[in-house]
Amino acid sequence: MEENFKLDIKARPRRLRKSGAILDLCQETHVLPSDLILPVFIKEGKNGADKIPSMPGQFRHTVESLLKLCEAALRKGVRAIAPFPLVDPQKKSLRADEAVSEKSLANRAIAAVKKRFPEMAVVADIALDPYTTHGHDGILDKSGTWIINDETVEILTAMALMAARAGADFVAPSDMMDGRIGAIRDALDDCDFTETAIMAYSAKYASAYYGPFRDAIGSAPKSPGKSGQRKYLDKKGYQLNPYNSREAVREALLDEEEGADVIMVKPAGSYLDIISKVKDSTVLPIAAYQVSGEYSMIMAAALKGWIDLERVRNESLACIKRAGADMILTYFAMDVK
């Protein structure tokens, strides 16, 4: 090859990759602790936190240890949490009666956090699966195979009111029943909770990535399959079909019309196209949930030494943000700098 050969080109994009300083100046997407919501698991008792085997590095917290976690999160710039309760099996029922109790674990935790740390935003999960004996997100019909939509919405509405009274900044219906956003908005407004926002799980898919989460909250799994692996409840009758995208946009627009303040896509990492499509369809802020299965797969590979945990963690969150998420629910929230 001829010495000192040079291409006759003016556009050289690599000029903007010449140094770390230039790379930082030109970076399009940033993930900050203030962009993140930390999902936290809570339990009864005063014995500190319990490890969750299927989610390395994650714990079930008592209300007392949750307050310590919130203090640490605020120091790191994480200013929002989403608590999920492990409900005592003796308090579960077919109609999820504990879900509408003022003294439920979730409501006591919300009240405790808001009393100690009023600056911490709390996102209250509004769903019945932690409270039902069968693990579904609603009331079953007589056949035991179909969720009764409107009766479930009535209970969800009462649950949302209880969370608002406890001090939740957001109520987050994650059940995927039809019409529940409008019913909850009307009830909140009628009871003078006009400032309580709704973070709607508008595009929650019937995903296989939720397994570790269901372990963490004790949501009922089916019996082990032939391979010995646990088979979890089939929720395709109300959550979205993973093979579809247009219906996610339809759901988002319906929730916006009914009064949602934030639109959620769940899961996040394998649904970047959905985040992007929903982002393009609404002016509302977009939340995306990097779910337990996504977290656990990254952690498992890192523990095996197969990937660089920090780089993969940061890249995974950047991809979600780049796709259009304004805020991300992630178990990695405390690790982002």
Please write the tens of the pLDDT for every residue from 257-285: 999 999 999 999 999 999 999 999 999 99
pLDDT of 233: 83
Q: What is the DSSP letter of 220?
A: P
pLDDT of 228: 59
* 205-260: pLDDT as tens digits: 999 999 999 999 988 665 555 555 666 788 999 999 999 999 999 999 999 999 99
Give strand pairing partners of 287.
264, 327
226 annotated active-site: no
Which is catalytic among the residues 43, 235, 266, 321?
266
pLDDT band at 82 (very low <50, low <70, confident <90, very high): very high
pLDDT of 95: 95
Lowest mean pLDDT segment, chosen from 34-38, 44-48, 144-148, 231-235: 231-235
Query: How many C-beta neighbours within 10 Å does residue 260 have?
Result: 26
Tell whether the torsion through CA atoms of 322, 323, 329 and 331 is positive or negative: negative
Which is catalytic among the residues 43, 204, 279, 321?
204
CA dihedral 86, 262, 193, 99 (to 10 degrees): -20
pLDDT of 293: 97
* 101-153: pLDDT as tens digits: 999 999 999 999 999 999 999 999 999 999 999 999 999 999 988 999 999 99
**Assigned superfamily of 30-335:** Aldolase class I (3.20.20.70)
pLDDT of 221: 60
* 147-198: pLDDT as tens digits: 999 999 999 999 999 999 999 999 999 999 999 999 999 999 999 999 999 9
pLDDT of 46: 85
Task: Kindly state the percentage of the chain with pLDDT values over 90.
Answer: 91
**Kind and range of the H or E run holding 203:** strand 197-204
DSSP per position, 5-73: -----S--GGGGGSSHHHHHHH------GGGEEEEEEE-SSSS--EE-TTSTT-EEEPHHHHHHHHHHH
pLDDT of 192: 98
68 annotated active-site: no
**For residue 58, is pLDDT > 80?**
yes
On average, the pLDDT of the chain sits at: 95
Query: Closest by alpha carbon to 200, among 263, 137, 117?
Result: 263
